[in-house]
A = this chain, B = another copy of it.
Amino acid sequence: MSRTVPEVKAYAGELNSTAASLLGFLHGGPASGYELVGIAEGLIGDFWSLTRSQVYRELATLSARGLITAGPVGPRARRRYELTETGRVAFAAWLAEPPGPEQIRYPLLLKLAFGSSIDRDTLRGYLVEHRVMHERRLKRYYDMADNIDDKLLRSTVRFGIHYERGVLAWMDEVAESLDVPDAEEG
């Protein structure tokens, strides 16, 4: 066995994805927690939700770890955080790790799985409610895609488009199958 190397220069430790994304945004210049929430919602909110509380907590620990530094306290206790060199390194290291699998939690599917205990009209109601939501999102994604210059960022919106299309097609299929009396099933 070759000699292990216990000392890694400027090792910054593991980063969770939320913290990493904050570092990512801070590449664009210092920002406060509140501002970061806004930026994140706009850019990654559709596939990576985060809340204010989370952001503040991450900022606190990132700061304690030296990956960012807090600027002076402004009005309403606001303070902007700035990326440090170590922070840059940590972010780059995070980017270089292969991303894990996605995680989906869809309560509608859950209720559908137990659907035999629900009456059909209630189910139909759930479906149409969600359908309008998905249609709206799809429309919004189309609009967004037209206005994004960055190729890769646009590709994340393209994901949304493919996803919503798939969901809508699925919903139509389910709605149709709900209309078939049980006796006729194949």
Residue of B44, B101, B113, B169 near A133 (CB, 8 A) is B101
Q: How far is the CA of A115 from the CA of B169 in the complex (A)?
A: 30
Query: Closest CB of chain B to A4's CB: distance in Å?
Result: 26
A contact face: mostly helix, strand, loop, or mixed: helix
Which chain A residues numbered 85 to 144 have a C-beta less than 8 Å away from chain B? 92, 95-96, 98-118, 122-123, 125-126, 129-130, 133
Query: A110 to B47, Cβ gap below 8 A?
Result: yes
> Copies per complex?
2
Query: A99 to B105, Cβ gap below 8 A?
Result: no
Q: In this assembly, does A174 line the interface, its C-beta being within 8 Å of a C-beta of chain B? A: yes
Query: Closest CB of chain B to A93's CB: distance in Å?
Result: 12
Query: Assuming A101-B107, A162-B170, what are 11 further A-B pairs, CB within 8 angstroms?
Result: A21-B113, A48-B105, A49-B105, A95-B111, A99-B108, A101-B130, A102-B106, A112-B152, A113-B153, A115-B155, A158-B173
A→B interface (CB under 8 Å): 17, 20-21, 24, 27, 43-44, 47-49, 92, 95-96, 98-118, 122-123, 125-126, 129-130, 133, 150-153, 155-156, 158-159, 162-163, 165-167, 169-170, 173-174, 177, 182, 185
